[in-house]
């Protein structure tokens, strides 16, 4: 397996923020993942939900990027932790298997999506997963959906464990219909989201009964900036990096948004992005 030293995390996160980590290990199989699991301080998927501090980080990161197997079995598919959701949705569409259309365009990996119970447009990982194969307590085990502790943007893996792969149950559907749905959702994303700027998607979770973007907009914060970190003018739920934003810019902007939304509406915004410092 490849081991990189002093690897800059800003090249590995969609926010383009983050200092150098002591080592970054890239296992190429489940066995190699097992071998290096004990050394991992952080598991890295596609870095699309991560805000990493600047400067030197004395940590070992294990990247799942090479765990890319996709195995079909009837209406089930098992995908390695490093497969991207978009690639998986496209491969399933080619096989005439529907159910993952909602995940098309989420720029994360299967592992990161299980960890976050990622979702969009009315679908969530928990609706389509049958089981997750994970390393926990030094062993590899198959964990059925009901034991994954899925809830809104949460799973048991946030308390520990490394996702090696996940099995999804899909349903036969016309390929043209699946593709049309994915195209429609992709267009919606391009129209509504500031995909031209680095971001980690929605910075805050949806507070019960509200929408984070609406609360931020109502607090007059659309376009507000700290350094090069800015509340997107296109979608106030996205905090973006306009180029060269630092970790401190980004966290200061997050705190400003939380403070001003709270003072205007009394709602506490909880970060969805995972902060590593
Ligand atoms: C433009 C844009 C749009 C987005 N749209 C959506 C959306 O519609 N819906 C949505 O839910 N999210 C969305 N996101 C956020 C993000 O894509 C998801 O949270 C995704 O699931 C993160 O996956 P990742 O592989 O990038 O995880 P990373 O950012 O690499 O990691 C996130 C967390 O998961 C952990 N993790 C990653 N892999 C594993 C593993 N194999 N085992 C254990 N832990 C692991 C990491 O340690 C970290 O704590 C968006 C992001 C962007 C940039």
> Ligand 1 atom 41: the closest Cα is on which residue?
111
The per-residue pLDDT for 253 is 98
**Cα–Cα distance, 64 to 261 (Å, whole number):** 36
Contact 23, 3 (CB under 8 A): yes
C-alpha 133: how far from chain center: 18
The binding-site residues of ligand 1, defined as CB within 6 angstroms of any ligand atom, are 14, 42-50, 64, 81, 106-109, 111-113, 115-116, 118-120, 157, 162-163, 193, 195, 199-201, 274
* Mean pLDDT confidence for 73-102: 98
Ligand 1 closest atom vs CA 43:
47
Nearest of 245, 152, 145, 159 to residue 198 by alpha carbon: 245
**Cα–Cα distance, 218 to 134 (Å, whole number):** 42
Q: Domains plus CATH for the chain?
A: 2-63 (3.30.43.10), 70-190 (3.30.465.10), 194-276 (3.90.78.10)
CB atoms within 10 A of CB 36: 17
Indicate yes or no: pTM above 0.85.
Answer: yes
49 Cα–ligand 1 center, Å: 4
**pLDDT digits 0-9 by tens, 202-246:** 999 999 999 999 999 999 999 999 999 999 999 999 999 999 999
Q: What are phi and psi of 116, to 5 degrees?
A: -95, -5
48 Cα–ligand 1 center, Å: 5
* Mean pLDDT confidence for 255-260: 98
> Ligand 1 atom 21: the closest Cα is on which residue?
113
**pLDDT digits 0-9 by tens, 240-256:** 999 999 999 999 999 99
Please give the share of the chain, as a percent, with pLDDT higher than 70.
100
The per-residue pLDDT for 248 is 98
* Mean pLDDT confidence for 66-93: 98
The per-residue pLDDT for 184 is 98
The per-residue pLDDT for 136 is 95
What is the residue-averaged pLDDT of the chain? 98
The per-residue pLDDT for 163 is 98
**Cα–Cα distance, 229 to 200 (Å, whole number):** 12
**Cα–Cα distance, 160 to 179 (Å, whole number):** 36
């Amino acid at each position: 397996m490849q081991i990189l030293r002093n690897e800059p995390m800003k090249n590995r996160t969609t926010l383009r923020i983050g200092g150098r980590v002591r080592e970054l290990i890239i296992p190429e199989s489940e066995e190699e993942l097992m071998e290096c699991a004990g050394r991992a301080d952080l598991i890295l998927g596609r870095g699309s939900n991560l805000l990493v501090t600047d400067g030197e980080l004395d940590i070992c990161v294990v990247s799942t990027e090479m765990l890319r197997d996709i195995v079909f079995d009837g209406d089930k598919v098992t995908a390695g932790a490093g497969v991207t959701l978009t690639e998986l949705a496209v491969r399933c569409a080619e096989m005439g298997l529907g159910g993952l259309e909602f995940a098309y365009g989420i720029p994360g990996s299967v592992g990161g999506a299980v960890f976050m119970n990622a979702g969009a447009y009315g679908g969530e990982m928990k609706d389509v997963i049958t089981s997750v194969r994970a390393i926990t307590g030094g062993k590899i085990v198959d964990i059925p959906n009901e034991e994954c502790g899925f809830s809104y943007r949460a799973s048991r893996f946030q308390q520990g464990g490394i996702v090696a792969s996940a099995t999804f149950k899909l349903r036969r559907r016309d390929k043209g219909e699946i593709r049309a749905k994915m195209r429609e959702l992709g267009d919606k994303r391009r129209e509504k989201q500031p995909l031209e700027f680095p971001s980690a998607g929605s910075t805050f979770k949806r507070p019960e009964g509200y929408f984070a973007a609406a609360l931020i907009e109502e607090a007059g914060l659309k376009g507000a900036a700290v350094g090069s970190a800015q509340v997107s003018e296109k979608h106030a739920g996205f905090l973006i990096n306009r180029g060269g934003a630092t970790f401190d810019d980004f966290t200061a902007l997050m705190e400003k948004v939380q403070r001003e939304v709270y003072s205007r509406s009394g709602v506490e915004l909880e970060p969805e992005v995972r902060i590593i410092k």
